Each structure stands twice: as C-alpha cells, then as structure tokens.
Structure 1
Amino acid sequence: MKKKLVFTFFIFSFSVFCFAQRVISPVAGNFCNKQPLVLDVSDGAECFYSLSGTDPLASGFAYDGPVLIDASGRINLKITAIRGDLKEEIEINYNVQEQNPFEEPSENFSFIKNCVNSGVYSYENEKPLEIPSSFTYCFDDDRIFLKGQKLVLDTENCLSRYLPCLVSDGKNEWRFVIFISGNQIGTLSKYSIPFEFKDWNSFFFTGEKLIWQLDDGDWSASKLPVNIDRSAKHTLRWQSVAFEVGNPVQSFVIPAEPEIIVNEKIDSAVNFSIDGDLRYRMEIVSTGVKNQPEKINGLFTSATFDTFEGDSISGTAVFAFYADGVFLGTKEKEFAIDKKPPLSP
C-alpha cells in the first residue's frame, strides 16, 4: 500500500510540472477579454483541445499554433498532449466577461481594442508597445504591477519568446500574450567536411577513401578519436587514399578554442560575444528561457538577450561554435536580466 501512495504522488507531481511548462495561455481566472490558446510544443508534442470539458481526442481540435478562443462566459478547457508513448492531460477553468469600458477614441479604448483583444500581440522594434499610464501591468502573472509605460527592447535582441501580460485599470483585468520575434540576422552557411568534433579537444576523421594529416604528422586513414591541444591552431589536410603525385590536397585550419564574453549593456540587456579567431560564429542552441516558440536560426558574431521593464529572465545559454561553417564545439554561459521593481517592505 505504501508503494502505491508514492507512485500516485509521483504521477501528480509530473502532471503539475507538465502543466506549468506546457500552457502559456490561458490560465485560471476572471478576464475582460477573450483568451488566446498558446502552448509550448517545442518538444514535438501533438496537442488537442476542447472547450466544453469533453475529451479532446474524441471531439476536440488539433493545435497547430496560437489561436484566439472565441468564447465568453465560463470555459472548461481540456488539453491532451501526446509525445511518443507519453500522454499529458491538462484542464483549465476560466471566466470571460468581455468588456471595453472606455469611450472611443480614447487611448485606453484603442489599447484594449488593438493590443489586448488580439489575444497575441506581435511586438516590433519599429512599433513599441505602449501601455497607457492609467493602467498597471505585470508579466507571467507574478502580480508585481508597474504603471503603464512604453515598452521597448534592445534593437539587437535576438531572443524570441511568448510573454504573458496582465493589465488592470484597478477594477478589471485583461490578459494577453506578447510575441517577441528576435532579430535574427545571422548567416546560415554550414559546410560538409570529412571529420567531426565531439568536444573541443577530440575529433575523428569520417571521410571514406581518404587519408589525412594533422599539422606535419604522418598521413593516416585511422577513424579513431584524436586528442589535440586547442590552445593553439592546427592544420588538417586530406586527399584521396589512391595517392599520386599531383593529387589535390584539401585543408582546414582548426582555430584555437574561443571564449564567450558576457557584458551588461546600458539598457540592462545582456550581450554575448566571441573572444577568439575572427572566423568564429556561434549558433544559439538553447537560451535557457521558457516559452520560446522555435529555435533561433542563424550564425552570429554576437547575440543580445533582453526583456521588458517589469520582467526578469535568467538561464544558461548554450552556443554551438562554427569556423567557416564547420562545427567545432559548444559552450555554456549563465545570465540574468532583472527589470522587476523592488518588493515593498
């Protein structure tokens, strides 16, 4: 009997964890606007949902991206997520009494109509989000409210994410999601070469019917891992195993291992840059920040992460390093951006 109780508790804890990670919107509560459905499917899960408490797999809809739930009153949202042999079931009850109590064409009326009621507002650097000063707002439902203001991000921000925002006029509350599309300006060139790096100090040759040479060493056809000193650069050469005078010899210069430099900018954004060979570019493998819609594509010489005033983010960012499009290793860096107001004493 004791084992059964422990097992039941584990399943409950796992369900709560998945709920917190999977659903970005909606959440339980009472709101004055229709709510968007935004799910984190970055793990490749297939999701289905229903709005009347029925089984989503029997009489629901397939989730294929953020959508405004066109329903008011009390809503019983059920979500089923399937990933391989795993199945998650989530239930959220919330209430919508849709209203815009402000007169047209006031700033407040326009904000509710054009920003909030869209469900998902797409932020653009050229068009900052302006929350009227008569409202207060908070992010991620932490209920640490700030006075409405113009929200801007560093123009070089490349962090894409969905950020829930709750606004209030002191009597009513509206909840919507801000979609931040990061500035992705990196190149996408990656080249095929006959060797692979598994970590910074180890590579192995993969080319068929080829022989290779490292620096001034002997020519070899070995496929075994080779350890090298990455504090200095090395030259790897290869050519056809059918050795003949005049055979074309290809080469690649393996640069010394770089470092990531992390600096806080004037606007409190965090910038990651490369300290090393100028041929290096880095790809953002993971930002460590939740609610990312998709992988950030591109190879960068530097990357900036930022968030709005009133929010905080932290994590461990993982970068893959390439030189001339050739993958050479990964590096991690912790970061934190805190733009939340101090707690009241």
Structure 2
Amino acid sequence: MKKIFFAAIFCIAQFALFAEVTVVNPAPGAYANLQTLVLESNAGEEVYYSFSGTDPLAQGFAYDGPVVLDVTGNVELRVVSVDQNQNRNEQKIYFSVEPAQSQNEEQAAFLKSLETGPCFDFVAGQKIQVPFSLNYSFFQNKNFEKGREISVSKNATMERFVPINISDGANVWRYVIRILPAEAGVLTKRDAPFEARDWSTLVFTDQKKMYSLDGDWWQAAGKAVELDRSKDNFVYCQSVDFSSENSIEKFSLPAKPVLKAERDYDGCLVITAQGKNGEAFELASSSLSTSKLISQGMFKKLVLDTFPGDKIEGRLAVDVYCEQVYQGVLYIDVLVNRSTPPAPKIISSAKSFYARDEVRVGAQLDPKVKIFYSISNPISIEPSFEPVALESLKFVHGDYDLYKGQSITLFGDTERILAYQVLFYSQDESGIKSATSEYQVIIDKYNYYVDPASQAQEQDGTPFAPFKDLSRLSKIANKKNFSRFYIKGTVALNPGEVSINNNVEFCGIDDAHIIVPANSALAVKNAGLYSQNIFWE
C-alpha cells in the first residue's frame, strides 16, 4: 500500500526571512486613503506599534492582526518586536495620508469596493476589474500598469497579503488584498509519541511508552536515535505496563523525499514531493505566521500564483509529514513571476516620423518572450501646410501575427500621402502581455513645402519644418522622378542656372509668387514643369 505524506509549508514572498518583524503595509509614500497595518512576525515574537512617534512598548498597541490606522497627515509608524530572549528590534516607517475622493463615478465605485474591511478578501479564481482609466502596481513597485481585469488561478492553495497601489495620475490609494485559496486542505494531524529532528534524529518523548525501531529491541523514552533516511524506517510503540492485550502502534518514517517544482499550463508553480519508492505526498499548512505565504490545510500539491504585475520569490521551507506524522523540513527556491514583460523596443529605418520613402520597421527579439505585431490599414492624408496630428488619426487594425525578426516594410504611394501605425507587444510563457509599443509614420514621397516665414531650425520641407527658400529645389527634383513644391508667400530662385531633369510641379497657396532674378535661370531638360496658382516674375 502506498504511503501518504503531508508537508507543512511556509515562505516569505518578496523578501528573505529575518529575525525582525516585517512591515507588509504601509510603505513609505503619500496616500489618499487611510492605511491598513499588516505585519509579519516569527513564532514566539511579541509585536507592538505606535503611529504617533511614541515608544510602542510605553505608549503603543499590541499587534494581533491587520488593523486600519485612523490617522491622517504626516505619520511616523514605529514597530517593535520582542523575541523569546527579550531581544528588541525596531523599525520606523514614514508616510502621509491626505484623504481624497475620485470625481469619476466608475473610479469611485471601484475604490469603494476595496474598502470592505482592514483587508480586501479575495478568493483565488475570482476577478478584479481595475478600471482602464486607473493605473495599478503591487507592493513598492513604481512601474504602474493600465487598469485591466486581474486574477489569481483558482487552483492556488496559498494565503498571502498583497498591497495594491491605485493611481489616477494625481492621487495614489493603497489597499491590502488578502488572497485566500478556493478550497482549504485537511487540517487533521496525528499525534506521535516521538519527535523527528533534522531527518536523521529521532527522540522518543512519551515516558509512558516503550519503543522499537525497525523491529529491534524495545527501549525506554528519552534517548535520541540516529536514523538512516535513505531507506524506509518503522517505529513501533506500546505501553510500558506490559500486558498481552497491549496494542502496538506502528508509524512510518520513509526515505527522505525530494521537492519538485513544475510550471503548470497557466504559469502557476506546482510544488510536489517525491519519495524514493513512488509514495504519494501532500502538503499541509504551517502556522509560523499569520501573514506569510502559507497554505491552510493539507494538499497533494501546492500551487503558487499571484496577480499580473506581481511576483512571488523566496526560499520555501516545507515541513514533511507521513501519515500525518512530522518527518522533517525540506527547502526549495520558488519564483512565480507575473511581472509584466517589457514592451518591445522598436527599430525603424526612418530618421523621424515623416519619411520620404518606404520604411522598414522591426523589433528587438528577446528569447524570454514572444513578440506579436499588427499593421494598420494606411490612412490617406491631404497635402497641407497644416501639420497632421498623428494622435488624431483613427487607425484600423486587423489580427496580430507572431513576429519572427523579419523586416516589416511600409510602402509609400505615387499619388497619396500615407500614414501607418504598427503595434507590438510581448508575451511571456505564462501568457502575461506587455504594454503595447506603438510606431507611427507618415510617408510622403513627393510633396515639399516652402514658406519664407519658416522659423524651423532644421528645415526638411515637411509641413512641420518647411523650407524658407528654393535653395534645395534642384537637388530634390533631380533625385526623384517627380516632385511637388507647395509655395506660400514670395520666394526667389537662387542666382545662376537652376537645372531640373525630372518632372516638377509648383502649387501656390493664396497669393504665391516665384521671382526669377536677372542673374537666375530655370532650365528644364527632358522633363515637364507644371504650375498652379503661381505668379512668376
């Protein structure tokens, strides 16, 4: 018959295990709502706090669970922990609270929904819809993300406190979410008349019983016995008051198992324990702290997950049980990284957003993520001295395709000015998507603008930086099969012969004049010259 194993588990997520108490919330900063105090302590520690700058042991409060601090303005939070040896550790956190209400109805309703108590209880598998008009982050992460639907896998078995920061750009509201598993494990543990230590030491503790290890001689309690945990062991015990009717209890001490961590299909981290002989293992809760990453009850597998934009990282300590009897502790490093991957970095052949020829666009590949892209339908723009605001254009996109490192070519048109938008996003192995990287460009192959009133320092002939004269007329016209110059005001040809070998068109805006001085000449060779609304003098 296969043996059943259990394991009690505890882990610090986001930080290592220290002797002093850990302040999960609040954190340094300025907030628009009252803050909840959440502390992490070790077994046997007593914790006290004050929020008026006084000594917590003299004029403070004993901490016995999350509590809302009813204080505004500048706050000095002092937290003192005292261990079993009367060693004292103190921490100070400075923050400020200036209550503010969102004037947006949707935002206000969402913020109100998080104020259900000291902490917002969230059951794994549920969803939180952060309004798109708000940004959010977790713990002390300064990289806020756009509001969206966030959740934790329904299979998650761990209880955890997660501070969430909500910002509308002007204010930051900070709340504490308590993640709870959808199902609790079995809580029953079997009392054993012995204590297992460090996997190799066994101490018999019940003075009213005698013991036999692996069928060897019976012995009294109190003596430590060294075990070979590379193989299965068995402990037999019975009352010291000998009787033929005495029952003999049997306890299994199997070979030391190993912990295994595997990534689930949805990116969760699944922890299991594997025995030498294929024994089935389960994981049980640890009560070292009320606010560490812990499981409540026994599970066959431990499932770790968190919200998009957050991560769990730390060394997991697992107390292993066999048939509900403590065996020893095992350790494993864990990482559940739901942090949003960085947005792709875009590469373009164009020097600016206004191009004169086809544009090649791509993104830097990252072996840790997949990149997807979408090209908009081109938008036609009418020639004008008034610059077009790209953000005002309504681009239409189709489906996203997997980007494999190829060069994406955006073509110009012989008759039209075209605007394009290319969107990229990256996605990690867990399915977490990055923010979208956006590339926009106008491709205008033939139109140039001349305005003698132009004040642009770097004149490129675009509506954003028109030429102030015709000094570059022949250079541009002779590079292209066709070019069109829009003229505003009065401009003059350069001295000498201005030779043009390709078709060129001049279009006047309002009262436009081109002056040909006595020492100038315009020579058009094997090409056509077209003129509209231009006075030549």
Give the TM-score category using the shorter length. Answer: 0.7 to 0.9
Q: Which moved more, 1:119-128 or 1:107-116?
A: 119-128
Equivalent position of 1:12 in the other structure: none
Structure 2 gaps, min length 5: 1-16, 346-537
Percent of aligned positions with the same letter in both sequences?
28
Pair 268,291 (structure 1): closer, same or farther in 2 beyond 3 Å: farther
Q: For 1:209 and 1:32, how far apart are their aligned partners in 2? A: 62
Q: For 2:67 and 2:257, how far apart are their aligned partners in 1? A: 43
Query: How many residues in Structure 1 have an aligned counterpart in Structure 2?
Result: 321
Equivalent position of 1:27 in the other structure: 27
Pair 308,253 (structure 1): closer, same or farther in 2 beyond 3 Å: same
Is 1:70 the equivalent of 2:70?
Answer: yes
Q: For 1:330 and 1:231, how far apart are their aligned partners in 2? A: 15
Pair 322,173 (structure 1): closer, same or farther in 2 beyond 3 Å: same
Equivalent position of 2:110 in the other structure: 111
Structural mapping, 1:48-197, within 5 Å: 48-51=49-52, 53-54=53-54, 56=56, 60-72=60-72, 74-83=73-82, 84-88=86-90, 90-103=92-105, 107-115=106-114, 120-125=119-124, 127-183=126-182, 185-197=184-196
Amino acid paired to 2:33:
N
The answer to which structure, 1 or 2, has the higher relative contact order (CA under 8 A, 6+ apart) is 1
Equivalent position of 1:233 in the other structure: 232
Q: For 2:163 and 2:37, how far apart are their aligned partners in 1? A: 11
Q: Which moved more, 1:203-212 or 1:23-32?
A: 203-212
Q: Which moved more, 1:322-331 or 1:29-38?
A: 29-38
How many angstroms does 1:182 deviate by? Answer: 3.5
Question: Is the Cα–Cα contact under 8 Å of residues 166 and 173 in structure 1 kept in the other structure?
Answer: yes
Larger Rg: 2
Amino acid paired to 1:37:
L
Aligned alpha-carbon RMSD (Å): 3.3
Pair 263,165 (structure 1): closer, same or farther in 2 beyond 3 Å: same
Q: For 1:340 and 1:22, how far apart are their aligned partners in 2? A: 22
Residues 279-309 of structure 1 deviation map (CA, whole Å, 9 limit, x = unaligned):
644334489xx99258644222211111110
Pair 143,215 (structure 1): closer, same or farther in 2 beyond 3 Å: same
How many angstroms does 1:141 deviate by? Answer: 1.9
TM-score, structure 2 length as denominator? 0.53
Question: Is the Cα–Cα contact under 8 Å of residues 284 and 319 in structure 1 kept in the other structure?
Answer: no
Q: For 2:205 and 2:59, how far apart are their aligned partners in 1? A: 51
How many angstroms does 1:332 deviate by? Answer: 1.0
Residues 173-215 of structure 1 deviation map (CA, whole Å, 9 limit, x = unaligned):
2222212224562222222333332132332433435443333
Question: Is the Cα–Cα contact under 8 Å of residues 285 and 296 in structure 1 kept in the other structure?
Answer: yes
Equivalent position of 1:263 in the other structure: 262
TM-score, structure 1 length as denominator? 0.79
Question: Is the Cα–Cα contact under 8 Å of residues 286 and 317 in structure 1 kept in the other structure?
Answer: no
Structure 1 gaps, min length 5: 1-16
Q: For 1:230 and 1:339, how far apart are their aligned partners in 2? A: 37
Question: Is the Cα–Cα contact under 8 Å of residues 159 and 179 in structure 2 kept in the other structure?
Answer: yes
Amino acid paired to 2:96:
Y
Q: For 1:244 and 1:120, how far apart are their aligned partners in 2? A: 57
Structural mapping, 1:208-287, within 5 Å: 208=207, 210-221=209-220, 223-241=222-240, 243=242, 245=244, 247-276=246-275, 278=279, 280-285=281-286
